[in-house]
């Protein structure tokens, strides 16, 4: 066999054959049964095993399966030889696809969730070892398939009547009676907000969660740590956390505790859950984690929030960064389906009002459909996990410039908008501090192959809708 570690694909999507080098001498052999760094680099999913099991088989002809567990497995042999067989029992076009290969200590197989797994020993004393990324729990059922199913038509080396088979496996159903295993579904938290609604549209199979009283499909208080921990997360693979406390000014006073609970405690709980269940956590943050001194903020700029809202969001970022599979997406000046700055300016323009708008806060609009498009892109492209800045593209502009463009598009004169400083606008008011520069450097996002749409192009479409 080859002395190099290599991975081969199979006709079953996600089922991978791993060829393991055996280092032999007069004493025997040594192998690295599981080597995360090398295997992940070659394309094996970083599936996070939590348990190792060994199934020892005394005699040739022992046959087990076909079982499709709701977790991933990595199978290999410590001794002997076996015939491995796999049948895809997941929903989708590959349902019923079959693959077989002979297993020996130098050949291992990664088995994704929902693919039926089976083997037949070809020698005595076969030690079949497997890693799994979830713990068995009572009450969980999963698909199984008859070993002699005529559709799968597995060519067992040893005729099944001559084999040792459990009574349970002899009663498994034929393929036409198997209920396929559904895929793990994404979860959208904060599903009733502007971003949450856009995410639910883009991820129609997602489960929507929001706080009690919102009428969400699932009502769950994300600040209730015990309730969140006991919610059934096993059947979900991605959490899109659009839940947040965003009342920036109220956070400086009566909303302080609520801001910290929603923006720091809840993300910390979700990060803990994501780590435990191997979930990808997508978390949305804000330019308010910066002090706004530099014209464009890079992902590696140290956070320096000016107010409570930014401080609570920065704390949430730290928590999210502890889970391996995370995308932290900072965004700015969000515009979507709901009350927002653009709609306010459009209404004022229609009503004949000539407002004063600050012109010394500079940034870029982020439309929710653009943020959702970037989210989908990062997930579909399997972009490296980490922090990304996301907004629409084009030149950075002030709030006053945006308001003037809204007025122009509504048939008003741009100079019907009066530009004022932040100090003058907030004079006599108790307001949270705002960063004067909110624009992001989008180079890291662009490097993944995503091209942000110009903000004013998106603005024209938004107002025409």
Q: What global pTM score does this model have?
A: 0.87
pLDDT digits (tens, 9 = 90+) for 287-342: 999 999 999 999 999 999 999 999 999 999 999 999 999 999 999 999 999 889 99
Confidence at residue 135, expressed as pLDDT on a 0 to 100 scale: 85
pLDDT digits (tens, 9 = 90+) for 95-106: 999 999 999 999
Contacts 24+ apart (CB under 8 A), 234-237: 234/70, 234/134, 234/137, 234/277, 235/70, 235/182, 235/184, 235/185, 236/184, 236/185, 236/186, 236/187, 236/207, 236/277, 236/279, 237/183, 237/184, 237/185, 237/186, 237/278, 237/279, 237/280
Confidence at residue 453, expressed as pLDDT on a 0 to 100 scale: 98
pLDDT digits (tens, 9 = 90+) for 36-47: 999 999 999 988
In whole angstroms, give the CA distance from residue 267 to residue 225. 10
Domains, the chain, ranges and CATH? 6-177 (2.60.120.10), 185-464 (3.40.50.720)
So which residues are the catalytic ones?
Answer: 67, 130
Is residue 68 within 8 A of residue 143, CB to CB? The reply is: yes
DSSP-based three-state secondary structure for 429: coil
CA-wise closest residue to 456 among 406, 389, 410: 406
pLDDT digits (tens, 9 = 90+) for 210-248: 999 999 999 999 999 999 999 999 889 999 999 999 999
Region 49-73: what's the mean pLDDT? Answer: 95
Task: Give the pLDDT band (50/70/90) at residue 148.
Answer: very high
Task: Give the pLDDT band (50/70/90) at residue 139.
Answer: confident
pLDDT digits (tens, 9 = 90+) for 380-403: 999 999 999 999 999 999 999 999
Rounded to the nearest integer, the mean pLDDT of the chain is 95
Check pLDDT > 60 for residue 109: yes
Confidence at residue 1, expressed as pLDDT on a 0 to 100 scale: 43
Percent with pLDDT over 90 in the chain: 93
In this structure, the number of other CB atoms found within 10 A of the CB of residue 422 comes to 16
Angle, vertex CA 286, rays to CA 282 and CA 218, nearest 5:
45
């Amino acid at each position: 066999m080859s002395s190099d570690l290599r991975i081969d694909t199979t006709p079953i999507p996600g089922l991978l054959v791993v060829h393991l080098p055996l280092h032999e001498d007069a004493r025997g052999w040594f192998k690295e049964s599981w080597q995360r760094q090398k295997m992940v680099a070659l394309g094996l999913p970083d599936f996070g095993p939590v348990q190792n099991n060994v199934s020892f088989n005394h005699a040739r002809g022992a046959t087990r399966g076909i079982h499709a567990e709701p977790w991933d497995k990595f199978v290999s042999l410590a001794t002997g030889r076996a015939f491995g067989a796999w049948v895809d029992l997941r929903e989708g076009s590959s349902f019923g696809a079959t693959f077989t290969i002979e297993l020996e200590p130098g050949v291992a197989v990664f088995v994704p969730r929902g693919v039926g797994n089976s083997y037949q020993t070809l020698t005595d004393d076969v030690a079949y070892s497997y890693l799994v990324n979830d713990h068995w729990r009572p009450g969980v059922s999963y698909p199984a398939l008859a070993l002699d199913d005529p559709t799968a038509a597995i060519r067992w080396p040893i005729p099944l009547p001559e084999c040792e088979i459990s009574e349970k496996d002899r009663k498994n159903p034929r393929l036409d009676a198997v209920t396929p295993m559904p895929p793990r579904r994404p979860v959208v938290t904060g599903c009733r907000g502007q971003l949450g609604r856009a995410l639910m549209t883009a991820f129609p199979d997602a489960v929507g969660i929001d706080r009690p009283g919102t009428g969400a499909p699932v009502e769950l208080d994300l600040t209730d740590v015990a309730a969140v921990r006991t919610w059934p997360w096993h059947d979900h693979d991605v959490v899109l956390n659009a839940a947040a406390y965003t009342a920036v000014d109220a956070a400086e006073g009566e909303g302080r505790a609520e801001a910290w609970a929603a923006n720091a405690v809840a993300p910390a709980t979700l990060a803990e859950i994501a780590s435990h269940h191997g979930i990808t956590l997508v978390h949305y943050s804000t330019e308010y984690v910066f002090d706004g001194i530099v014209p464009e903020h890079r992902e590696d700029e140290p956070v320096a929030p000016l107010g409570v809202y930014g401080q609570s969001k920065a704390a949430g970022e730290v928590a999210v960064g502890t889970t391996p599979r995370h995308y932290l997406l900072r965004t700015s000046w969000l515009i979507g389906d709901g009350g927002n700055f653009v709609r306010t300016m459009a209404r004022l323009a229609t009503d004949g009002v000539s407002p004063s708008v600050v012109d010394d806060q500079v940034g870029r609009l982020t439309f929710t459909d653009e943020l959702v498009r970037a989210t989908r892109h990062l997930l579909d492209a399997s972009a490296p996990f980490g922090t990304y800045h996301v907004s629409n593209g084009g030149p950075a502009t002030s709030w006053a410039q945006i308001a003037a463009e809204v007025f122009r598009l509504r048939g008003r004169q741009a100079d019907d908008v009066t530009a004022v400083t932040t100090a003058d606008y907030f004079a006599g008011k108790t307001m949270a501090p705002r960063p004067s520069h909110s624009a992001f450097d989008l180079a890291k996002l662009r490097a993944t192959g995503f091209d942000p749409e110009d903000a004013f192009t998106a603005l024209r479409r938004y107002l025409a809708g």
